[in-house]
Amino acid sequence: MAYIITEPCIGTKDQSCVDVCPVDCIHGSEDDEQYYIDPDTCIDCAACESVCPVNAIYFEDDVPEEWKSYTQKNSEWFKTHETSGAFRPSSERH
């Protein structure tokens, strides 16, 4: 189980969630339309959920029906992008 970033992130991408995630599992680049949560690393702490200004983040079981495809969209991103497993301070994250 993991938290999932859904459609409202598109066009916002303010990185509030990236800054609070204790395990640095939220990633994305300037070229991406949104940010993504690595389901293999997420510890379900819910810290990101409450800081998102557009309510884009949901626990996997609570993702609204119309955004269910984002569960796969989040995990797929990590199959095609390299992310460092080492912890980095928020100032160095992207």
The least CB distance from residue 74 to ligand SF4, in Å, is: 10
Q: Is residue 14 a contact point for ligand SF4 (CB under 6 A)?
A: yes
How far is the C-alpha of 17 from the C-alpha of 49, rounded, in Å? 7
The least CB distance from residue 48 to ligand SF4, in Å, is: 3
Q: How far is CA 70 from CA 18, 20, 21, 88, 89, in A?
A: 18, 21, 19, 26, 27
Q: Is residue 13 a contact point for ligand SF4 (CB under 6 A)?
A: yes
**Contact residues for ligand SF4, defined by CB under 6 A:** 3, 5, 9, 12-17, 20-21, 23, 25-26, 35, 37, 42-48, 51-52, 54, 56-57
